[in-house]
Amino acid sequence: MKKVLLLLLTVVCISAVQAQTCVRDSSVLQNDSVIIAPRPVTDTYPFYDLAQACIGQPYLQSFTLKVPASFTFQGFTLPITSAQIATTGAVSGQPVGITYLCDPPNCVFNANTLGCILLYGTPTAANVADTFSLAIAATINSSIGPVPITFPGAVAPGSYFLVLNAANNCSSSAYDLNSQIIDIKNQPNPFSGQTTIDVESIVTGDFQFEVFDLLGKRMHQQNIRLFQGNNQFTFDAGNLADGTYFYSLSNKEGKVTKVMVVAR
């Protein structure tokens, strides 16, 4: 009986993992300069494309890897046979409770194909940070042998940041604060000194405005009173170094997070 129960438990666990579907983003085929999607955040691409996570709630985020037929290494163009990542340990920096799988399952992506990596799991209360810097270690297999690379890195510069919300402060998307905030943006972006935060709210209430650097350090915090309809307030980045920052509006109902770039 114990063997039967163990077998059933194994089948259930395998089925649960297999039920997680990695979704390829075919838009990478339309841009020769993009080899992984979502794209990392950079000064020239200041868009936060990763799904936000929430403690205690299931999380899914697919990465599409476009494997070209060749690549340039130390001035030489070399044919690629495949790219691959380790089936364990290749993704680093993720919250406790998040792991990954590949499609195909062996995590070997042949040249001229779209490979898929899926982050999945349920973040636990053991996490103490709210911003995580992700990295994916990969290997390009070519005629000169294996060449290690990292995403983000030389072939795809920038940063991957996963925002983790508390169990009682979770938003389902960048435009959903339990349906209180319709839209939020800052203009200009990038900016050198001041930027205007535009918020369209369907409620009147008090919110907290915060700015974080890419390591998750809070650089600015203030209370904001929003009124139903269109709202505007100014943020002065005079004390901030040039670079990319996250900014958020939050209350007890949830949080919305966007990206701003300071460039002088």
**Average pLDDT of the chain to the nearest whole number:** 85
93 & 32 share domain: yes
CATH number at residue 195: 2.60.40.10
Choosing from 165, 200, 221, the residue where a domain stops is: 165
Question: Would the pLDDT of 37 be above 90?
Answer: yes
**Percent of the chain whose predicted confidence (pLDDT) is above 70:** 88
51 & 161 share domain: yes
Lowest mean pLDDT among 113-117, 136-140, 211-215: 211-215
Report pLDDT for 19. 52
Give the pLDDT band (50/70/90) at residue 23.
very high
112 & 212 share domain: no
11, part of any domain: no
Report pLDDT for 123. 95
Give the pLDDT band (50/70/90) at residue 204.
very high
**199-219 mean pLDDT:** 89
74, part of any domain: yes
9, part of any domain: no
DSSP line for 157-213: -SBEEEEEE-TTS--SBTTBSTTSEEEEEEESSSBSSEEEEEEEESS-EEEEEEEE-
Q: What residues are paired with 110 via a beta bridge?
A: 82
- pLDDT tens per residue, range 57-76: 999 999 999 999 988 767 77
- Within 8 A by CB and 6+ apart from 15, the residues are none
Choosing from 105, 138, 165, the residue where a domain stops is: 165
Lowest mean pLDDT among 71-75, 125-129, 215-219: 71-75
- pLDDT tens per residue, range 87-112: 999 999 999 999 999 999 999 999 99
CATH number at residue 137: 2.60.40
Report pLDDT for 251. 85
Distance CA(48)–CA(171), nearest Å, equals 14
| Location of structure tokens 């983003």 | 25
Q: Other C-beta atoms within 10 Å of 5: how many? A: 9
Q: What residues are paired with 250 via a beta bridge?
A: 208, 255
Distance CA(70)–CA(140), nearest Å, equals 10
Cβ proximity of 96 and 123 under 8 Å: yes
Cβ proximity of 59 and 51 under 8 Å: yes
160 & 187 share domain: no
Report pLDDT for 169. 57
State the residue range of the domain holding 95.
Answer: 21-165
111 & 209 share domain: no
Q: What is the value of pTM for the model shown?
A: 0.71
Rounded alpha-carbon distances, angstroms, from residue 248 to 130, 131, 255, 261: 12, 12, 7, 14
Choosing from 119, 137, 165, the residue where a domain stops is: 165
113, part of any domain: yes
Identify residue 234 by its one-letter amino acid code: T
5, part of any domain: no
210, part of any domain: yes
86 & 210 share domain: no
Q: What share of the chain is helix, strand, coil (3-state, %, to 5)?
A: 10, 50, 40
Q: Which two tokens mark 41?
A: 């955040």
Distance CA(178)–CA(164), nearest Å, equals 16
Report pLDDT for 264. 84
Question: Would the pLDDT of 11 be above 60?
Answer: no
Q: When comparing pLDDT for 261 and 198, which is higher?
A: 198
What's the structural domain count of the chain?
2
Report pLDDT for 179. 67
Question: Would the pLDDT of 14 be above 60?
Answer: no
Distance CA(64)–CA(75), nearest Å, equals 26
40 & 126 share domain: yes
